[in-house]
Amino acid sequence: MGISYNEKSRSFKLDAKDTSYIMAVVDEENFLGHVYFGERIPDEDVNYLMRLEEPPFVPSKNNRDRMSFLDSFPTEYPTFGLGDFRESCLKVNTKSGMTAVGINYVSHKIYKGKPKLQGLPATFGSKEECTTLEITCVDKHLKLEVILIYTVFENLDAITRSVRIKNNSDEDIQLTRVLSACVDFDRMDMDVLTIHGSWARERHLNRRSVTYGKQAIGSTRGESSHQMNPFLAVMDKTSTEDDGEVYGFNFVYSGNFLAQAEGCQFDTTRVVMGINPEDFAWRLQPGEEFTAPEVVMIYSNEGIGKMSRTFHDLYRNHLIRGQYKDKKRPILINNWEATYFDFNTEKLLNIAKEASKLGVEMLVMDDGWFGNRNSDNCALGDWVVNEEKIQGGLKYLVDEVNKLGMKFGIWFEPEMISPDSDLYRAHPDWCIHIEGRVGTLCRNQYVLDLSRKEVRDYIYESLREILLSANIEYVKWDMNRQLSDVGNNILPAGCQREIWHRYVLGVYELMDRLTSEFPHILLENCSGGGARFDPGMLYYSPQIWASDNTDAIERLKIQHGTSMVYPVSAIGSHVSDCPNHTVGRVTPFETRGLVALSGTFGYELDVTRISQEDRDMIPKQIEMYHKYNDLIRKGDLYRIGNIFEKPQFDCVEYVAKDKSEVLVVYIQVLSRPNYHSRRIRLKGLQKDAYYRNEETNEVYSGAALMNAGILIKGLWGDFTGKLYHYIRV
């Protein structure tokens, strides 16, 4: 049993694979407190850690100093306004204008399996894999019920959390803050790791000390964003890639979020995560419920690397769904960087013909095939094929591509509307807007109000018609701006702030409809590159375009940061032409292929116009993809070189789950004068097994490869790459 309740100590013990998480109900007033989170321990009762006998006394013993208790107690789900001045998770606005909430334990239930979260993406698991605990707490004054939901995965070091709030009063209660998780760590000597970025340089790492006050990241952009990813980890200051305790938190949501580590007065750290309270409000009518999105908590006692591998296993097996979940993805060629808006049937077919000869398996037609879209200034919303460009129609094009033995994929940006579009001319109020105010444009477009059912229905029907009109087997779902001017002329004033969350729920509903009606379609999410690379999106699409930056060297950083949390199988990665369109760098074609291998792999170039030498390399790269993709997609990732720390090289290793095979991808970034070889030590192998280098046939023990290492020789030239494949003998 992964979860137990000890009647005597009134404590809950959640056991994941090698992790324990303990809470206890204390005092006559039934406060629910956090006791322990870390390596698995056998004891059920560790309440001696709760400091209940020392000042500040618990309320039943010394209520004259109640605030001292509330402001220091490691509360499991802190609420606003009664004397806990650290970050709170729950705040309201009642009819009489009151904001305080105080909750106490009432009951609980433990059951096998994991419940779905209504309308929200979430991890899933069977009754054999998961156990769930629901703790009901109540604010008697407000008649507000707060149900804290925990699920443990018994074979992974993963615990998920969510919260359901129910209004049992006979008045409306407005929720103005509902975070999904809080953990009070009884220490402050930790570092906090977050992932930040911008367009074309997504998911770079930032590590700093936890110190007094709030170290917060978040998004108020309506999407998880290029700028901050909904991930935060706290860890020992000495933790490295391979050693030390690390606690990773990831929010399964694609909109505004807050993730924060707060150093508090008694040298404790409060970590919270959830929907960003900035501009959030949700009206709960009597009897209604609100469900907060899920937070995933991962514990690792073997450094950052093990945390990442646990996230990868959890997401590959318990989040990503659909027919491509465990499948090798077709190698695609996308025409964006090849043609931008300047294409027609002939150009696309020429690319497809050449690509099919080289072994490419799918043609993806990107932005520009609909309405009068010849630039990014117009036509979003007009999902009608432009037959001046797609001469002969879409079906003809798809059939011709299919005749070449290739699949066909298509680009949409369903959430957007151009002011210069037939849709806008017909429904100017369908975009998110503030009545009477000129809306802020971004890429010359507005955001459709997907909180409205009629808008969602219209968009879905337009997409559906296109998808039914030809044999389309892949969709790239793009989203190229953030939300601003948030309002509409539909919801009452008191519900206007709900639009942020209703929008995200609307996006999820659309993706749910799409993936249910067209289960054979491979969906790839994208948001101006990688602005929505989050677990919410992974629930609907097994892969996400990582960045518009396709430069192999920049990609090393982006892919390194992305792999902190997200599996390599989900990272959309293509070989593009040089000089690179974003940074102007020239890298060898071979290296571009090696870097794209650590992702879904594909091409984004005009294969009819690249040099013969580069073209000749494509079949070899494709052979390499077919040979290694199973290992890369399903294996364990070990990061060996980190170009954030040492800009000279990057190195990753993929080890088969049964340790029978290992692939090492080494990229020499900056050459060092008079330095021609480098020793690196492999990781994660079977110590007492022997491994044969496939190229040289040399055989060494796992122990030697891990402790003594391998020699990377012939380090000559920047941006060069090498591959080493070892097979257990």
DSSP strands (E only) in 237-391: 246-251, 257-263, 269-275, 282-284, 289-300, 332-334, 362-365
Residue 478 is among the residues annotated as catalytic for this protein: yes
For residue 309, how many other CB atoms are within 10 A of its CB? 23
Tokens 């591509």 belong to 401
Q: Which is nearer to ligand DGJ, 368 or 684 (CB)?
A: 368
# residues near ligand DGJ by CB under 6 A: 11
| % helix, strand, coil for the chain, step of 5 | 20, 35, 45
CB of 580 to ligand DGJ, least distance (A): 14
Q: In this structure, are residues 268 and 187 in contact, taking their beta carbons and an 8 Å threshold?
A: yes
Please identify which of the residues 478, 577, 606, 636 carries the catalytic annotation.
478
Q: Binding ligand DGJ by CB under 6 A: which of 231, 336, 533, 691?
A: 336
Contacts of 22 (CB under 8 A, 6+ apart): 11, 12, 13, 14, 34, 35, 36, 37, 44, 46
* Exposure letters 46-84 (e unless 16+ CB within 10 A, then b): bbeebebeeebbbbeeeeeebeebbbbbbbbbbbbebeb
- Beta strands 213-219 and 228-236, pairing class: unpaired
Residue at 91: amino acid letter: K
Residue 422 is among the residues annotated as catalytic for this protein: no
Nearest residue by C-beta to ligand DGJ? 367
CB of 564 to ligand DGJ, least distance (A): 21
Distances (CA, A) of 437 to 135, 333, 455, 484, 643: 46, 42, 21, 12, 46
Chain residues 355-374 in contact with ligand DGJ, contact rule CB under 6 A: 366-367
DSSP letter string over 604-630? ES-TTTS-HHHHHHHHHHHHHHHHHHH
Separation between Cα atoms, residue 306 and residue 565, nearest integer Å: 11
Chain residues 519-578 in contact with ligand DGJ, contact rule CB under 6 A: 526, 528-529, 545, 548
Q: Which is nearer to ligand DGJ, 31 or 336 (CB)?
A: 336
CB of 478 to ligand DGJ, least distance (A): 5
CB of 17 to ligand DGJ, least distance (A): 37
Q: Which is nearer to ligand DGJ, 420 or 478 (CB)?
A: 478
Q: Binding ligand DGJ by CB under 6 A: which of 411, 601, 666, 719?
A: 411
Closest among 518, 515, 597 to 555, alpha carbons compared: 597
Tokens 């359901």 belong to 164
**Interaction between residue 139 and ligand DGJ (CB under 6 A):** no
Residue 467 phi/psi, 5-degree rounding, is -65, -30
Sign of CA dihedral 551, 554, 557, 561: negative
Q: In this structure, are residues 166 and 103 in contact, taking their beta carbons and an 8 Å threshold?
A: no
Q: Which is nearer to ligand DGJ, 411 or 654 (CB)?
A: 411
Q: Which is nearer to ligand DGJ, 295 or 338 (CB)?
A: 338
Please identify which of the residues 84, 191, 367, 548 carries the catalytic annotation.
548
**Rounded to the nearest 10 degrees, what angle do helices 589-597 and 612-634 cross at?**
20
Q: Which is nearer to ligand DGJ, 47 or 549 (CB)?
A: 549
DSSP element (H, E) containing 181: strand 173-185
CB of 630 to ligand DGJ, least distance (A): 27
Q: Which is nearer to ligand DGJ, 77 or 545 (CB)?
A: 545
Chain residues 477-516 in contact with ligand DGJ, contact rule CB under 6 A: 478, 480
CB of 413 to ligand DGJ, least distance (A): 7
Q: Which is nearer to ligand DGJ, 57 or 340 (CB)?
A: 340
CB of 414 to ligand DGJ, least distance (A): 13
CB of 337 to ligand DGJ, least distance (A): 8
Q: Running DSSP on this structure, what letter comes out for residue 330?
A: P
Residue ranges binding ligand DGJ (CB under 6 A): 336, 366-367, 411, 478, 480, 526, 528-529, 545, 548
Known catalytic residues are 478, 548
